[in-house]
Copies of this chain bind each other. A is one copy, B any other.
């Protein structure tokens, strides 16, 4: 299947395998650099401020995004770049990088080690490369379309669950669901499944990619929150379903997604009910 996907991509006039491998290698090099920035900042301290949307941003977010943009501009001067904290850079090609320097700034700010950095490359909107780096857990996940998903170099293959009831279901924070008018779905899920845990942000995504949680249910996401996840999940052999998408005034969309082991994703979609 993976080989077929790559062949289809190349036939469609997309990047060559050599291109894909180079994009992936550079993304991983950048993640190694940004991890050092994050670890140094956690050790030495950093400041935070509140944004217009009332969420927080830290010096670390800006330092990491600036480093990513510097490196991408040097390596791929024609590629567009979108990031959470800085203005979009338009591109002169069909390639677009989407980055979240710190996904889980609330966790970073409070010293909860479950945050990370997200980098993703799309071509004509199609995800090609995804990287999630979890600095404090020493874990780096990456996937390349047609070439597999990996954690720290080890191939990831999501296995079917022994029992759907025994699987953990991860969710984002309840306020994400409140923010998109879907709090009743959050509440229903917590009652319906035996173990539902709020493993917010890319930590929950990483657990689903690895098969540690059976599924992740994450609502009210911006492009950078979810940019790496589809290619990571599908290359690992899991299922990725966008259950909702709504346009924002700024022209961007908000995404509601469910992903993980197919049987658990189906159970979750059944519980969510009104969406399917």
**A residues whose Cβ falls under 8 Å from a Cβ of B:** 106, 110-113, 136-137, 167-168, 173-175, 187, 190-191, 194-200, 207, 210-213
Contact = CB atoms under 8 A, between A and B. Distances in A.
Top 6 closest pairs, chain A to chain B, by CB: A111-B212, A197-B198, A110-B212, A112-B212, A198-B198, A174-B190
A211 B173 contact: no
A213 B112 contact: yes
A191 B184 CA distance: 11
Interface centre among A106, A112, A191, A207 (most CB of B within 10 A): A112
Nearest to A174: B190
A199 B114 CA distance: 11
A74 to B, nearest CB: 34
A113 B136 CA distance: 12
A113 to B, nearest CB: 6
Contacts of A194: 175
B196 A198 contact: yes
Given A112-B168, A173-B197, A174-B190, 20 more contacts: A106-B168, A106-B195, A110-B167, A110-B168, A110-B213, A111-B207, A111-B211, A112-B199, A112-B212, A112-B213, A113-B137, A136-B137, A137-B137, A173-B195, A175-B194, A175-B195, A196-B198, A197-B198, A197-B199, A197-B200
